[in-house]
Amino acid sequence: MKKKKIEALPFIGLKELVRSKGVLFVGVTAVKKIGEEKILLLEIYKNRARDKKTPVIRYAASKDDWAVYDTRDGLWSHRKMDSYTWGMGFVWCEDRQPEGRGYNERATANVLSSEQDLNRIRKFLKRSATYQNKYIRWFDLFNQHEDYCVAKKKQRANDLRNERLKARINAIKPIDEHKIIRYADKELFGEKHYIYYTKKGSRARIACSHCGNVTEGRWRAGDTYESQFENYIPEPVAGQKGKCPVCEAEGIFKSAGRQKHDHDITMHLYLGSKYKETGACIRYIELTKRFQVMTDEKKITEARESMAATEIARIYVDGQKMQIDYHKHNPYIGGDFWDDCNLYGLASINIDEALIHPDTWEELKGTCLQYCAAKEYSTYKGEINFRRYIERYIENPQIEMLVKLKLYDLVDHTYYLNNQGATPQEYLMIRKDRIKYLSQKHGEKAIWNVLKLEKRLEQHWTIEQIEKLASINPLNTDNLETVLGVLSVQKLLNYIQGYAGCEFFGCTNARNLLMHTATEYIDYLIMRIQLGYDLHNTVFLHPRNLEEAHRKMVEETDKKHLDKRILEANTKYSHIKKEYRKLRRKYYYEDDNFIIRPARDAGEIVREGRRLHHCVGGDNYLSSHNNDKSYILFLRYKKTAEVPFITIEISADVAKVRQWYGAYDKKPDEANMQKLIDSYVKGLQKAAG
């Protein structure tokens, strides 16, 4: 629709006012030809003499479209007639007609200038018998026309989507399924086979899933003379490796009696191919290896294995554009099809980390992904999420530079980089002479954070100092920067080491203790600074007892608010304190390094949340503990039993840990701490019988 030309047309004008009570607005129509297109114009005027020349709106309808020009703001829109009917108070409904008059054609025409206007609308908007119904209201004709235009536009868009989808499908060749399966069986499944067996006395019957042959024989020597001439097979033991006596393929013994159903293993693989001239298509393939065993009267009759490869998603990349198509199944017609949108909810198709088929790199030559450096990145990482990598590469092509500089760990953190940087050091926000060192560390994020801080403070630290700072993993570099404004790096490290009582780069427990001490000491100094203490005074800078000094600073920093909160919590959740002794007898644990105990009262839980900066002090956790739904336990170092370390929430009815966290919702030394907590829970379950 040529809106500028419609705008240039002079207004029709309201020749005569409608002399009927209650009529506020009057419609005037005209049909104009603009180029080869006919346009129906409907102009709405206020039913008063001073507004006869300029309408409130001009409504333009063509064969397949409509638009509304509002003279009050000079803007075009796609507002529907209904929005003006109700929103602007136009008199297009019979319930707004003068009192005592029923709904009929005359009443409807009452808001049009003449019968000719009504006939003009009916003639222009004719599509079906419904449009010719003399009882249908004229403004409903516009409503139906708008619905038709919207539906047709959606249909056109849907047809265009389907055409593009079909073109993408036709542009891609089918995968070589046999080649993919051979590669996957070797690299993904490790040529895994099963040897199923049944035992009866000293005899066994085995079936190999690789060759399908069934063998029966004796696995233990018999007492009779004839038994020495029988077929001997190795003793099958569930879970152990063995060899098929027929094909000599290695497999894992599995009891056929316990294997009631078919079972399979599913893995995924990426495969790249060319798309159009310079585009690329990354196929996400699901590979399934299925194992089957058939038995008859508790005897194995057959075993077999099979593999299938199915494309479940295709990632099309053409320049800066990316489109993902998904392979779906229609259970009603029993067929598969491709679609350009994913499924909803739990049925959605996820594209996760997987290996990349080596043929991909040859296929991507000459495409827009030729220089994406995904080959080098996947060589270092192994399995990667190729989709996410491509998304980042499109947004930030500097990823190629990161990978070629061997800064692999920074690929997942490109949003923290300076995208306006013209050189590597500007991009990384570190000193130029540190790039090589960071490359040797593969872009380790903790090291990079320290190097950024070094550049920001215009310092030159030793490699040892940098690695020590990185090892304590400061949670807030802004706080660390503030602290380094009042004492040197070496002093800070010395103080942390002295308070922790162990050396840097020691065992896991030492590293955890140093991180814990660093967090506490930096937190203590920040509170001193915020309260205006003079840290040139060594008494403040280097307290004899860090735990006690930190505790006092926490209390001083937020004493009034904290005291009020603790008082409220202890009053509201008093049952926690009453049940402490009982819970302590049940949940207390102690070994050489750690203790686990329940909270003494609600106030202690509040303090725990404040000091570890997580949400355990909230009413939800306090209420659950108070009502015996779940309990809050504290895991702490035995040496510093009053210093918060890890908070655990455990179910009250079943000894099961719901969640556990350290400071700032982190999980320090997650593998070892999880092992300790699992062992603790097993002990509780055993004690419960």
479-503 confidence digits (pLDDT tens): 888 899 889 999 999 999 999 989 8
Q: What angle do CA 538, 539, 545 make, to 5 degrees?
A: 120
Determine the pLDDT at residue 579.
Answer: 92
Please tell me the class of the 572-688 domain: alpha beta
What are the φ/ψ torsions at residue 237 (nearest 5 degrees)? -125, 125
- Name which of 80-94, 180-194, 638-652 the model is least confident about: 80-94
User: From residue 668, how far is each of 477, 605, 663 by CA, in Å?
Assistant: 18, 20, 8
Q: Cα 239 vs. chain centroid, distance in angstroms?
A: 37
Domain ranges of the chain: 3-151, 177-347, 461-557, 572-688
Determine the pLDDT at residue 94.
Answer: 37
Determine the pLDDT at residue 675.
Answer: 93
CB neighbourhood size of 528 (10 A): 22
What's the mean pLDDT in 536-562? 84
Pairwise CA distance, residues 200 & 330, whole Å: 47
Give the pair of three-digit tokens for residue 531: 């309260």
CB-based contact 386:289 (threshold 8 Å): no
Q: What is the pLDDT of residues 31-46, one digit of tens each?
A: 999 988 999 999 999 8
Q: What angle do CA 221, 223, 228 make, to 5 degrees?
A: 55
Element (DSSP H or E) covering residue 680: helix 670-688
Q: Is the pLDDT of residue 105 over 50?
A: no
Pairwise CA distance, residues 680 & 49, whole Å: 89
CB-based contact 271:248 (threshold 8 Å): no
Q: Is the pLDDT of residue 354 over 90?
A: yes
Q: Is the pLDDT of residue 529 over 70?
A: yes
Q: Is the pLDDT of residue 96 over 80?
A: no
Determine the pLDDT at residue 127.
Answer: 61
Identify the residue with better confidence: 232 or 621: 621
- Name which of 127-131, 238-242, 581-585, 684-688 the model is least confident about: 127-131
Determine the pLDDT at residue 93.
Answer: 39
Determine the pLDDT at residue 92.
Answer: 44
Give the pair of three-digit tokens for residue 381: 């990482």
CB neighbourhood size of 67 (10 A): 17
What percent of the chain is predicted at pLDDT more than 90?
Answer: 53
Determine the pLDDT at residue 225.
Answer: 66
Determine the pLDDT at residue 135.
Answer: 62
Per-chain mean pLDDT for the chain: 87
Q: Which amino acid is at 312?
A: I
Q: What is the pLDDT of residues 636-674, one digit of tens each?
A: 999 888 899 999 999 988 788 999 999 888 899 999 999
Q: Which amino acid is at 15?
A: K
What's the mean pLDDT in 422-433? 92
Tell me the range of 72-81, 151-160, 218-227, 467-476 where mean pLDDT is highest.
151-160
Determine the pLDDT at residue 589.
Answer: 93
User: From residue 531, how far is each of 491, 528, 539, 612 by CA, in Å?
Assistant: 22, 5, 15, 20
What percent of the chain is predicted at pLDDT more than 70?
Answer: 92
Give the pair of three-digit tokens for residue 442: 């593969």
List all residues 6 or more positions away from 47 whose beta carbon is below 8 Å from its beta carbon: 17, 18, 23, 24, 25, 26
Half-sphere exposure of 528 (CA within 13 A, CB side): 24
In angstroms and rounded to an integer, the radius of gyration of the C-alpha atoms of the chain is 38
In sequence order, what DSSP letters do the residues of 334-400 get, joined into one string?
TEEEEESSPPPGGG------BEE-THHHHHTTTSTTTTS-HHHHHHHHSSB-HHHHHHHHHH-TTHH
What's the mean pLDDT in 195-215? 90
| Short-list 358, 312, 314, CA closest to 182 | 358
Determine the pLDDT at residue 163.
Answer: 95
* Three-state DSSP state, 40: strand
Q: What angle do CA 462, 466, 470 make, to 5 degrees?
A: 170
Determine the pLDDT at residue 217.
Answer: 87
Pairwise CA distance, residues 215 & 204, whole Å: 8
Q: Which amino acid is at 549?
A: A
| Short-list 638, 630, 659, CA closest to 647 | 659
CB-based contact 60:34 (threshold 8 Å): no
CB-based contact 203:217 (threshold 8 Å): yes
Determine the pLDDT at residue 110.
Answer: 46
Q: What angle do CA 548, 552, 556 make, to 5 degrees?
A: 170
What's the mean pLDDT in 231-251? 88
